[in-house]
A and B are shown apart, each in its own frame.
Chain A
Amino acid sequence: MGARLLARDFRAGELRVMALSIVLAVASFTTVAFFADRVKSALTQEASQLLGADLVVVSDRPIGDDVRSAATRLARATTETVRFPSMVSAGDASLLVEIKAISTGYPLAGRLRIAGADGTAVDRRAGPPSGKVWLDERAMARLGVGIGAQLAVGEKTFLVSGRTAEDPEAAIGFLNMMPRLLLDAGDLEATKLIQPGSRVTYRLMLAGTPERLGAFREAVWKGIGPGQRLEDVRDARPEIRSALERAERFLGLASLLSVVLAAVAVALAARRYAQRHVDNCAVLRALGASRAYTVAVHAWQIGLVGLVAGCAGAAIGFGAQAGLASLLAPIVQVPLPLPGIEPALQGIAAGFVMLLGFALPPLAALGRVPALRVLRRDVGMPAGISWAGYAAGFGAVAALVYWHTRDARMASIVLGGIVAAGVVSGLVAAVLVRVAAAAGRRAGFAWRFGLANLSRRTVATVVQVVALGVGLLALMLLSITRGDLLDSWRQSLPPDAPNRFLVNIQPDQAEAVQAFLATEGLTQAKLFPMVRARLTDINGKKISSASFTEDRARRLVDREFNLSWSERPQVDNVIEQGEWWSGPKPAGQFSMEKGIADSLGIRVGDVLGYDVAGQRLEAPVTSLRKVEWDSFRVNFFVVSPPGLLETYPATYVTSFHLPTERSAVMDQLVKRFPNLLVIDVAAILQQVQLMMGHVVRAVEYLFLFSLLAGLLVLFAALQSTHDERLREAAILRTLGAASRQIAKAHAAEFLLVGTLAGIFAALGASGIGLLLAREVLNVPYTVGAGVWIVGILAGAIGVLVAGQLGTRQAVHVSPVEALRRG
């Protein structure tokens, strides 16, 4: 019985909309799931290759002999690397690179492949011969050099003898933006680049059996201090893992938007499906079928549709993830293995959750259709949709959100957001519809009739406007609003904002550097002293990264702080609590940046203990400052009055604006002071924007699903009014209406729905833009006309075309239908 019903019902349309909705939702869901699965298995499969070893001790200071001897004793093999950023120059060009000094045996796992002059790559297990270096492709391209070129690294000149084709620790370029140079550890000394205050990472790499490495862990665990950690294959590249997890969540939530919209389409279609099956059910009941049987006959159908549509959706998702992967390829620079079957199963399961939540409630009501309906037409479906129905739908969405976020707090924030956005947008759309309908009462037949149709079905209209508007909003937010915001931000920066940072200036170079800058006319460059120190205790209580739960706080505690001293605060600093020092000889004290103080839970009056190059330093916090980081001036988290820090080893830092056409000045500077690091803010911003561009395009790609889901809601809504439209069109025709007049009335209706959706999307995109500008970017923002023009045009034209397609039949209906349907 179910099979026969199925074929007929599929032609009727609601099942088609339901199936398409499931296809779309599952496709959107699995696109992200497949992609995440590929990245995850890449990370797991290649963890030891990525790590270059089985276990690594990472430290920001040379690794102690006790740890080394334990390593030699317990590991099968060990090797060491030293990494730090530095400028290198070739001819007139200079570039900030990451220098990595490697020793014999590197890498212990994975492959180091070096291409020679003839382009063929060979596996290596040691650094280049003395006096030679290997560059990766990016460094070569940006320096404009090839194999055979001379390269100045610190105080030594090297020959470029190979191109790094594969290097374990660089395998995933996620957030790893610096080009890299490899040299032999034996050559490091001669460069004279490692000086006090240099930011160096020492890595001791181990290979061995799990048991012996476990014993090594045990042995050195106690000796691991702040700024040191152990990495093994389980937590290889934790920064990549957490960045990927965040990206997955973000993309997952973007895909969820289309799932929610598709759910609305399922709900509309399921309701109509139930309504059309009331007579069937009444007959079944009259013939003695039980409630359970009545429901089961139909549930079987919908279940089958869900299964087939779910599989189709998973297949589309499989295809679409390839697109997502290629969009994100520049960020995930690792070859991705094929995804497993699990995401497909998850997607199909999600499709069923949707059906359970949104199709089952109206279906269950079919079981309660009274048999009496076969005699009396006025007895129909049990009244309305029950609250239980809404609760089931909400539960389904909640389950999907939780599934995606795996985090109750985050899930409740997202759910709350969905509910709040739904209520607010529903109200806004309802007001828009009412206003439009009232205004249209005075217009001619077509407008009046179209508008009357809309205002009579206010709820359905609001659902359509919101669903289409949300799809449009998501796309506009990323395309137009993003551009507007970036422009506003760029305009808010003064044209002479510092664009170069100079760090690592040694005390004995300070005067010479300042003189150099002065002769080049860069007089605004003031040198700030900087002392590296590690925060060890707050109010006498020892702290470590384990004392904090927040990610940022953990990272802050793990690394060294740059302390500075100054008589007066930087011009853009605002003291928010406490007081800045005054008087000729202020006591030892700190002024702290507000944001970092909040992260670490530090208040005015707390006493901070620092470890500065092995010596202890203690002083109270007497003020909290707000810092304009956007200004690109040199600023410090922690500042003390003069007199406290001068005895510790310091380096100097400065920032200034260098006009683009004078960038050669920096190459001269680097030649004279090879140890200086020049950080080009513009280049970094460009890099970040490039990365953001990739992510944004990926999200846009996913939001296309949302727009399609919005259109499906429109179709489902059109379908739910299809019979009524046919009847009304037939009446109009008997009364003498030409098909043109009916088409015009429909056009008026769709034009309005589309325009309202466009207005809604533009309103949302501008509102969110304003909010971001004010709360996040702190820039003045004027909403561009583009949002409104594109929003309204896209909405109006899109819905008009889709609507006309969906109602062709009603326009050409034969008037005799009016008699038949009587």
Chain B
Amino acid sequence: MTKQVGTGDSVLTILDAVSFDIAEGESVAVVGASGSGKTTLLGLLAGLDLPSAGEVTLAGQGLNALDEDGRAALRGATVGFVFQSFQLLASLTALENVMLPLELAGHAEPRATAMELLRRVGLEARVQHYPRQLSGGEQQRVAIARAFSGPPRILFADEPTGNLDAATGREIADLMFDLNRERGTTLILVTHDEGLSHRCARRLRLAGGRLIADERDRAAA
């Protein structure tokens, strides 16, 4: 797939004919320098945006054939997200934030499921707190609980430890990989942290919008 954006008179190519497959259950890190197109690639893979040329197939479904609401429904059913800046909704409590995807999908027992996940990420004592009352690490735990509430077949993570100090970042990464293993989720992780990328079994290296390397470990991490 290719992604171009118009900037006034010129056209900027952000992703240039990138092509690959990710199998169910794989853990993949997308790595590269700042501006290499990592985040754009993630957006295309998750159906948040459409490529200028080419096609993305997510969980067996071609995304070009769907409108934005159709893609939203597919995301709600199959995808979880963890963002660098947490992206919790400030007007909702931790519990309500985790319940949100369940409610949007019309889940029968959103409260019980959300409570269970918050217990799993160690926040059972803080379920009624608002995001602004939580530390960065705690907020990312809520975001991870929210991402796994679906439960998703694929988890997208965009620099999940980028806004955290080293020690907290490690804890969060541990939590994320543990949950991923437990639930057999496919993981696609965007990072420029080499250490973090090596916890994935496969690494896609981007530079200048091109895929320059596709490295696979012999044994899964």
In the complex the two chains form, is B104's CB within 8 Å of A741's CB? Answer: yes
Q: Is the CB of B104 within 8 A of A818?
A: no
Kindly provide the distance from the CB of B7 to the nearest chain A CB, expressed in whole angstroms: 15
A737 to B42 Cα, complex, angstroms: 19
Q: Does A438 contact B (CB under 8 A)?
A: no
| Interface: B158 (CB within 8 A) | yes
- Smallest Cβ-Cβ distance to A738: which chain B residue: B69
* A593 CB, nearest partner CB in chain B, Å: 62
* Stretch among B85-93, B116-124, B192-200 lining the A interface: B85-93
Q: List A residues 231-276 near B (Cβ within 8 Å).
A: none
Is the Cβ of B83 less than 8 Å from the Cβ of A735?
A: no
What is the minimal beta-carbon distance from A690 to any residue of chain B, in angstroms?
53
Decide: A736 and B43 in contact? CB cutoff 8 A.
no
Q: Which residues of A contact B72 (CB under 8 A)?
A: 733, 736-739, 815
Is B73 close to A, CB under 8 A?
yes
Which of A452, A453, A816, A818 lies in contact with B87, CB distance below 8 A? A818
Check B69–A740 contact: CB distance below 8 A.
Answer: yes
Chain B residues with Cβ below 8 Å from A453 are: 91
- Which B residues lie within 8 Å of A455 (CB)? 91
Among A737, A819, A820, the most chain B Cβ lie within 10 Å of the Cβ of A819
Which of B27-35, B74-82, B166-174, B181-189 is near enough to bind chain A?
B74-82
B68 interface hit (Cβ, 8 Å):
yes
Q: Are A819 and B69 in contact (CB under 8 A)?
A: no
B77-113 at interface with A (beta carbon < 8 Å):
77, 79, 81, 83-85, 87, 89-92, 96, 100-101, 103-105
Task: Identify which of B49, B85, B90, B104 contacts A736 (C-beta below 8 A).
Answer: B104
Interface size on A, residues (CB 8 A): 29
Residue B36 is within 8 A (CB to CB) of chain A in the complex = no
Are B90 and A445 touching (Cβ within 8 A)? no
Residues of A within 8 A of B83 (CB): 818-819, 822
Q: Which residues of B sit under 8 angstroms from A738, Cβ to Cβ?
A: 69, 72-73
Give min CB distance, A275 to chain B, whole Å: 16
**Interface assignment of B12: CB less than 8 Å from any CB of chain A:** no
Min CB distance A605 to B, Å, is: 70
Cross-chain contact of A822 among B79, B84, B105 (Cβ < 8 A): B84
Q: Are A734 and B91 in contact (CB under 8 A)?
A: no
When chains A and B are docked, how far (Å) is the Cα of A218 from the Cα of B147? 97
Which single member of A727, A734, A736, A740 contacts B105 (CB below 8 Å)?
A736
B48 interface contact, C-beta 8 A: yes
Q: Given A452-B91, A819-B48, do A735 and B81 touch, yes or no (CB 8 Å)?
A: yes
A731 close to chain B: CB less than 8 A: yes
Bound Cα distance A737, B96 (Å)? 15
A111 within 8 A of B: no
Contact B49 A452 (CB under 8 A): no
Assess the B68–A737 pair: CB atoms within 8 A.
no
Give Cα A820–Cα B40 distance, bound, in whole angstroms.
9
B46 at the A/B interface (Cβ < 8 Å)? yes
B13 within 8 A of A: no
B64 on interface, CB distance cutoff 8 Å:
no
Q: Establish whether residues A736 and B73, one from each chain, have CB atoms under 8 Å apart when the complex forms.
A: yes
Question: For chain A, what secondary structure do more than half of its interface residues adopt (helix, strand, loop), or is it mixed?
Answer: helix
Collect the chain B residues with CB atoms within 8 Å of residue A815's CB.
48-49, 68, 72, 75
The docked-state distance in angstroms from the alpha carbon of A186 to that of B91 is 88
List, in ascending order, chain A residues with CB within 8 A of B158's CB: 819, 822
Which residues does chain A contribute within 8 Å of B96, judged by CB atoms?
Answer: 448, 452
With A452-B91, A822-B87 known as contacts, the answer to whether A816 contacts B103 (CB < 8 A) is no
Is the Cβ of A737 less than 8 Å from the Cβ of B76? yes
Cα(A739)–Cα(B146), bound, Å: 20
Interface presence of A728 (CB below 8 A): yes
Tell me if A736 and B75 are in contact (CB < 8 A): yes
Interface code A446-462, partner B: CB below 8 Å = 1, 0 otherwise?
00110011011000000
Residues of chain B within 8 A (CB-CB) of A456 are 90-91
Which residue of B has the minimal Cβ distance to A455? B91
Q: Does A444 contact B (CB under 8 A)?
A: yes
> Is the CB–CB distance between A739 and B105 below 8 Å?
no
Least Cβ–Cβ distance between A723 and chain B, in angstroms: 12
Tell me how far the C-beta of A717 lies from the nearest C-beta in chain B, rounded to whole angstroms.
15
Q: Given the complex, which residues of B lie within 8 Å of A728, measured CB to CB?
A: 89
Q: Are A739 and B87 in contact (CB under 8 A)?
A: no
Whether A452 pairs with B104 at a CB distance below 8 angstroms is: no
Chain B contacts for A819, CB-based, 8 A: 39, 42-43, 48, 83, 158
Specify which chain A residues have a CB less than 8 angstroms from the CB of B69 in the assembled complex: 738-740
Most buried by A among B39, B42, B74, B81: B81
Contact: A814 with B101, CB < 8 Å?
no
In the bound complex, residues from chain A placing their C-beta under 8 Å from that of B85 are 822
Q: Which residues of B contact A822 (CB under 8 A)?
A: 83-85, 87, 158-159
Bound Cα distance A452, B131 (Å): 13
Give Cα distance in the complex from A819 to B160, angstroms.
Answer: 12
Which positions 799-822 of chain A face chain B at CB distance < 8 Å? 814-816, 818-820, 822
Assembly CA distance A737 to B105 (angstroms): 8
Bound Cα distance A736, B87 (Å): 14
- C-alpha gap A734/B100 in the complex (Å): 12
Given the known inter-chain contacts A449-B91, A453-B91, A728-B89, please indicate yes or no for A816 contacting B76, CB distance below 8 A: no
Complex alpha-carbon distance, A677 and B68, angstroms: 83
Report the Cα distance A731→B180, complex, angstroms: 22
A607: min CB distance to chain B, Å: 75
Question: Which residues from 688 to 740 on chain A have a C-beta closer than 8 Å to any C-beta of chain B?
Answer: 724, 727-728, 731-740
Which of B48, B77, B84 sits near A816, CB closer than 8 Å?
B48
* B92: contacting residue among A449, A733, A741, CB under 8 A: A449
Residues of B within 8 A of A735 (CB): 75-76, 81, 100-101, 104, 146
A444 and B103 in contact (CB under 8 A), knowing A739-B68, A816-B43? yes
Q: How far, in Å, is B158 (CB) from chain A's closest CB?
A: 6
**Residues on A with beta carbons closer than 8 Å to the beta carbon of B39:** 819-820
Query: A734, B77: Cβ atoms under 8 Å?
Result: no
Within 8 Å CB of A452, what residues of B? Answer: 91-92, 96
Which residues on A sit within 8 Å (CB–CB) of B90?
456, 724
Q: Which residue of B lies closest to A818 (CB)?
A: B87
B140 CB, min distance to chain A CBs, angstroms: 12
Mask, A723-762, CB within 8 Å of B = 1, is 0100110011111111111000000000000000000000
Expressed in whole angstroms, the Cα–Cα distance for A724 and B159 within the complex equals: 22
Flag if A731 contacts B87 (CB, 8 Å): yes
How close is A460's CB to chain B, nearest CB, in angstroms? Answer: 12
Provided the pairs A445-B100, A736-B104, A818-B83 are in contact, do residues A731 and B49 lie with their beta carbons within 8 angstroms? no
Determine the distance from Cα of A728 to Cα of B92 in the docked complex, in whole angstroms: 11
Q: Please give, as numbers and ranges, the residues of chain A lying within 8 Å of B42 by CB-CB distance.
A: 819
User: Within 8 Å CB of A814, what residues of B?
Assistant: 48-49, 68
Q: How many angstroms from the CA of A216 to the CA of B97 in the assembled complex? A: 90
User: Taking the nearest CB of chain A, how far is it from the CB of B120, in angstroms?
Assistant: 19
| Alpha-carbon separation in the docked complex, A814 to B47 (Å) | 10
Q: Which residues of B contact A816 (CB under 8 A)?
A: 43, 48-49
Residue of A whose beta carbon sits closest to that of B130: A456
Which residues of A have CB within 8 Å of B92? 449, 452
Docked Cα-Cα span, A444 to B96, in Å, equals: 12
Smallest beta-carbon distance A34→chain B, Å: 46
Residues 650 to 668 of chain A near chain B (Cβ within 8 Å): none
Residue in chain B with minimal CB distance to A448 = B96
Tell me the minimal C-beta distance from B93 to chain A in angstroms: 9
| Distance of B154 from chain A, by nearest CB (Å) | 13
For B105, what are the chain A residues with a Cβ–Cβ distance below 8 Å? 736
B165 to chain A, nearest CB (A): 14
B48 adjacent to A818 (CB under 8 Å): yes
A445 to B83, CA, bound (A): 23
9 contacts between A and B (CB under 8 A): A445-B103, A735-B81, A736-B72, A736-B73, A736-B105, A819-B42, A819-B43, A819-B48, A822-B158
Given contacts A736-B74, A738-B73, list 4 more A-B pairs with CB under 8 A: A735-B76, A736-B76, A816-B43, A822-B85
Which residues of A are at the interface with B, using a C-beta cutoff of 8 A?
444-445, 448-449, 452-453, 455-456, 724, 727-728, 731-741, 814-816, 818-820, 822
5 residue pairs, one from A and one from B, having the closest CB atoms: A736-B76, A452-B91, A456-B91, A816-B49, A816-B48
